[in-house]
Amino acid sequence: MEGPRAPTTSEFGDLVKFLDTNLRNQSGWSVVDEYPTALTLQNIHNFRIMRDQEKILSNAVIKPTIIKTRRGLLKVGCLGSVVTSEQHRNQGLSQTVLIDCLESIKSQGCDIAILWTNLYDFYRKLGFELAGGEVSLLIDKPLTVPPTTLKIIQNNKSDTQALFRLYSQHSVSSIRTLDEFEKYLKIPNSRLYTAWTPEGKLEAYAVEGKGVDLQGYIHEWGGTVDGLVALIAHMRIQFGKPVTVISPSHAQGLIRRLEEMGIKRVEGFLGMIKITNPFGLFAKVIRNARQEWGITNFIMDYREGAYYYGVGDNLFRTEHEGDIVRLLFGPQKPSQIHDAGPEVNAVLDKILPWEMWIWGWDSV
């Protein structure tokens, strides 16, 4: 058995075959088409494989991503394409690969690692916890919207610059290049809808579907609330069946408008998150508390296997990394997770949770 290690360039073709066989044997495209910025030769140093003399047995990939937030930048190691061939499961291969990935994520200075899964217990063993807020809005009936002069188009060949400009207005989003945007637009089964003013200005965009995933989900969107509601109403009619809008909890304008139209919100999690650089991350939170609210006595620290947080002399201790992940990223307020008394609650609820979001195209 060899690994965990990054594949060599000459192994890349075999790796793609391995991933397609194990993850996409029904679809008419390759998994690399669905993750065009992660599963590439340029990112080969961020793959980890285990293999025997004949073939690749297990894999995972890291996509380092910079997330712009209202409070500053977060460096995030997104993990994906975690898979072991069927005959070699339950021998610890994935765990070994993932531990090595986490080492690499740490050494690349990422504040956190994130992944999307329904195997919660498997990842909890590695210190991941469900965290971050995600709101789902199920559009289960046609929306009644005021008449609009907006022209709605479904075509992935669009004005990428205009899309890019609207995307850049998000308060929380990954730093993408125009080239990455163009790659995302080519993902199979990913449909872009755009709304244009009579003057030819892009007012809003929304994307549904992504390869075999997120069918019936609007997972990327941007623009004005009016434009988005017109788009969503149009998409609902086009699909002739329910469609779900996925939104960060902080996108209150859109959420409120849809709720006013009788749409129910369902609270969920952004993903499973693990802290990979506690000192760097806590320093960012402490600095932000000072700069934004003038709070100088907030404490968050990690020492000898335990986490400490609090205000002044009111310190709390936990050995569970998951407690700190949920404190930092929510979705609940700190006081809803643990009642730390009125004084500490007031401070913690002011500075946390940190608004964090990863749009659908960036998930790996």
Ligand X SMILES: CC(C)(COP(=O)(O)OP(=O)(O)OC[C@H]1O[C@@H](n2cnc3c(N)ncnc32)[C@H](O)[C@@H]1OP(=O)(O)O)[C@@H](O)C(=O)NCCC(=O)NCCS
The footprint of ligand X (CB under 6 A) covers 58, 82-84, 89-95, 117, 119, 121-122, 125
Minimum distance, C-beta of residue 92 to ligand X, in the bound complex (Å):
3
Looking at residue 188, what DSSP letter applies? T
Whichever of 32 and 93 has its CB closer to ligand X, that residue is 93
Give CA torsion, residues 328, 332, 335, 339, to 10 deg.
-100
* Angle at alpha carbon of residue 171, lines to 167 and 175, rounded to 5°: 55
Minimum distance, C-beta of residue 180 to ligand X, in the bound complex (Å):
23
Minimum distance, C-beta of residue 82 to ligand X, in the bound complex (Å):
4
**Cis peptide, bond prior to residue 4, ω within 30 of zero:** yes
Residue nearest to ligand X (CB): 92
Whichever of 92 and 242 has its CB closer to ligand X, that residue is 92
- Phi, then psi, of 19 in degrees rounded to 5: -65, -45
Whichever of 117 and 148 has its CB closer to ligand X, that residue is 117
Closest to 266 in 3D by CA, of 211, 217, 209: 217
Whichever of 93 and 270 has its CB closer to ligand X, that residue is 93
- For residues 296-323, b (16+ Cβ closer than 10 Å) or e, as one string? eebbbebeeeebebbbeeeebeeeebbb
Whichever of 125 and 303 has its CB closer to ligand X, that residue is 125
Element (H, E) at 193: strand 191-196
Looking at residue 142, what DSSP letter applies? -
Whichever of 125 and 241 has its CB closer to ligand X, that residue is 125
Q: How far apart are CA 336 and CA 345, in angstroms?
A: 9
Minimum distance, C-beta of residue 286 to ligand X, in the bound complex (Å):
33
Q: How far apart are CA 59 and CA 47, in angstroms?
A: 7
Minimum distance, C-beta of residue 249 to ligand X, in the bound complex (Å):
23
Q: How far apart are CA 151 and CA 134, in angstroms?
A: 29
Whichever of 194 and 363 has its CB closer to ligand X, that residue is 363
Tokens, residue 132: 């971050």
Minimum distance, C-beta of residue 332 to ligand X, in the bound complex (Å):
24
Whichever of 12 and 122 has its CB closer to ligand X, that residue is 122
Minimum distance, C-beta of residue 211 to ligand X, in the bound complex (Å):
14
Whichever of 102 and 232 has its CB closer to ligand X, that residue is 102
Q: What is the chain's alpha carbon radius of gyration, rounded to the nearest angstrom?
A: 22
Minimum distance, C-beta of residue 119 to ligand X, in the bound complex (Å):
6
Cα–chain center distance at 312? 34
Minimum distance, C-beta of residue 23 to ligand X, in the bound complex (Å):
7
Q: How far apart are CA 48 and CA 82, in angstroms?
A: 10
Whichever of 20 and 259 has its CB closer to ligand X, that residue is 20
Q: Residue 154 CB: number of other CB atoms within 10 A? A: 14
Q: How far apart are CA 113 and CA 364, in angstroms?
A: 12
Q: 277 and 284 in contact (C-beta within 8 Å)?
A: no
End-to-end CA distance of the chain: 27
Minimum distance, C-beta of residue 121 to ligand X, in the bound complex (Å):
6
* Angle at alpha carbon of residue 278, lines to 73 and 306, rounded to 5°: 155
